Amino acid sequence: MDEAQALRRAGWAGAASIGLLAGGVALGYLVGVDDPGMSDSEILARLNDDARQVAAGIGMPVLAAGVALLLWFATGLRRVLDGLSGGDPLAHAIVPAAALFGGLLITGVSLDVASALAAWSGEFTADPDTARALGTAGLVLALTGLIGCGVLIAVTTRICQRARVLPAWATWLSYAVAALCLSGFWSGGMASAAFALWLIGAVIGVLRAARRTPAVPAQRAPTRDAAGTPPTSETEAPAGGPQSD
């Protein structure tokens, strides 16, 4: 696989991850208890709703697929940044930052939907206080994962700023989004929306980089002479050798 094709696939993986991450979080939200002030009756209604329980069961693998595709995109983004920076070690933080975000996001959503999935089994009696505690813990963990998003944005912006490939307004706007994400839990859903918009821009950037990357032609198998095959006895005979009368 040549460089252009690898970047193109990573870019489309990033585009797909945006939809899958949003879908997985939305499905988990249908049954999660993110608001501690929710009444006991409303919590029990959410936890014991069969449709919401099925949605939560579908949402987890969807979310996991989104995280996997995000990591694929992060590897492509790192290759682009390596090319811009000439191999700056700062670019090595891209994939771990994406993994930090994905790991905490999956953990947080899992805690949020745990009570509903346990009630689905029929062997667990839903308790509103337990659901509140798990939901709040899941919300804190998921929003803390935005710190990984902040690192991802800050590293990308810094390398692009050094390479002078971004206008000044885009550079400072990206730094503002990074600061918003680094605030973690305190930023709430505002940082999540800002990161989603930034990720769309990053996907477009990787796809444009793939278009500018020249395709490497396929290598042909070496010919017999190029492979160093020894000459035959006929070619070894000198052209002006002795001739018989």
* pLDDT tens for each residue of the chain, 245 residues long: 577 888 889 999 999 999 999 999 988 888 877 777 777 788 788 877 778 888 888 888 999 999 999 999 999 999 999 888 888 888 899 999 999 999 999 999 988 888 877 777 766 777 788 888 888 888 888 888 999 999 999 999 999 999 888 899 999 999 999 999 988 777 767 888 999 999 999 999 899 888 877 665 544 545 554 445 555 554 444 545 555 44
Q: What does the pLDDT read at residue 237? A: 47
Cβ-based neighbour number of residue 92 at 10 Å: 13
d(C-alpha 226, C-alpha 242), whole Å: 31
Closest-CA residue to 67 (of 109, 30, 37, 130): 109
Helix axes 50-85, 146-163, angle to 10 degrees: 30
CA distance from start to end of the chain:
62
Nearest by Cα to 10 from 213, 147, 217, 225: 213
Query: What's the chain's Rg over C-alpha atoms?
Result: 27
How far is 213 from 77, CA to CA, in rounded Å?
Answer: 14
| Calpha distance 181→100 (Å, rounded) | 13
Global confidence as pTM: 0.80
For CA atoms 3, 9, 12, 16, give the dihedral sign. negative
Beta-carbon count within 10 A of 110 CB: 18
Q: What is the largest CA-CA distance in the chain?
A: 117
What are the structure tokens assigned to 1, written together? 């696989």
Q: Mapping DSSP to helix (H, G, I), strand (E, B) and coil, where does residue 216 land?
A: coil
Q: Which amino acid is at 16?
A: A
